[in-house]
Amino acid sequence: MAKSLLDSVGEPCTASNATLSIIRGHKRLLDVATISQGQTKFFSVLMLAWGLIADIDIESEKYRWMGSARIDFYALQRIVFLRRYNGCIRFLAAPGYEVHGEPIKLPDICLGDGPKSGYCGPTVDPHNSNWRKIDGPFISVWLHNVPWGAEHTMAAPDAHFSDGYLDLVLIKDCPKLALLSLLSELNNGGHVKSPLVLYIKVKAFVLEPGSVVEDPSKDGIIDVDGEVLARGRRTYKCEKKTLMAYDRLHIGVDQGLASIFSPI
């Protein structure tokens, strides 16, 4: 978040610049995503990942002693032993992006339903004609709210802080060498220009995660804002219970719901 804010005005991402931004007291609006599963809700301001990016982010934790090099090291390992995931995504396309996927109707999607005490999340019309569907298998599904996913990872170059949309970066199929080349472009956002990457804006999103194609007894990890929101069978050993099950998730966006300190 700090990198995205400071980079938007051409300032280096340093602790001193971030501190000065807070002292000056300038603010800007920020979209907030609501992730729902039954009566359980989780709020996100950065990103949601499933597949390759989530696996690299979470499973590389065991190499944290390597410092930032753990990401590059484990990314190479994950490409060599590449996983593809069964599943399905459905999304409410932003204007201009309706050509992607196949059109569907979603009478069972009711984002915003749930407990009426407190904030319940955005309400999305499930009968909107812009709902689309893409079936797996997938290599990576990545939803972003801000441009930068890390200090050297421009995940979604066209993302804005309060445009009311999430930026979807999707990879369905990709040769391993080409995938390695794509990941090398993350530092400048060049990966989204590849024909192997689908990059679109969505107003709402439904994720139905499945098993690993190469090993149906193994599931994946759903990573939200850098933390494990859900994990399936045989992901990694952990006694800590996740907030949500490895099952269908509904994601909606509230435009400008939060306020954050900003350089200008």
pLDDT at residue 107, as a whole number? 52
* Structure confidence by residue, pLDDT tens digits, 149-183: 988 899 999 999 999 999 999 999 999 999 999 99
- Name residues whose C-beta falls within 8 Å of residue 155's C-beta, 6 or more positions apart in sequence: 47, 142, 144, 147, 148, 149, 167, 169, 186, 189
The answer to whether 225 touches 46, Cβ cutoff 8 Å, is yes
SS3 of residue 185 by DSSP: coil
Confidence band (pLDDT; 50, 70, 90) for 6? very high
Q: Classify strands 102-103 and 131-135 as parallel, antiparallel or unpaired.
A: antiparallel
Q: Is the peptide bond before 137 cis (omega within 30 degrees of 0)?
A: yes
Taking the model in full, what pTM does it have? 0.90
Report helix, strand or coil for 46.
coil
pLDDT digits (tens, 9 = 90+) for 39-88: 999 999 999 999 999 999 998 888 888 887 888 888 999 999 999 999 99
Tens digits of residue pLDDT in 96-130:
898 888 888 765 555 555 555 666 667 766 566 68
Helices marked H in the chain — which ranges? 2-7, 15-24, 52-59, 69-80, 176-184
In the 8-state DSSP scheme, what is residue 17?
H
Tell me the average pLDDT across 200-204. 95
One-letter amino acid of 149: G
Give dist(CA 73, CA 76) in Å, integer. Answer: 5
pLDDT of residue 239: 76
Closest CA to 119 of 26, 199, 43: 43
Distance CA 136, CA 172 (A): 7
pLDDT at 261: 95
Q: What is the mean pLDDT of the chain?
A: 90
Residues 178-201, mean pLDDT to the nearest whole number: 94
pLDDT per position as a tens digit, 208-245? 999 999 999 999 999 999 899 999 998 887 778 889 99
| Helices vs strands, H then E, count in the chain | 5, 14
DSSP-based helix, strand, coil % in the chain, nearest 5: 20, 35, 45
What DSSP string describes 92-110? EEPTT-TTSSEE---TT--
pLDDT more than 70, % of the chain: 91
Is 32-256 assigned to CATH 2.60.200.40? Answer: yes
Cβ-based neighbours of 25, under 8 Å, separated by 6 or more: 261
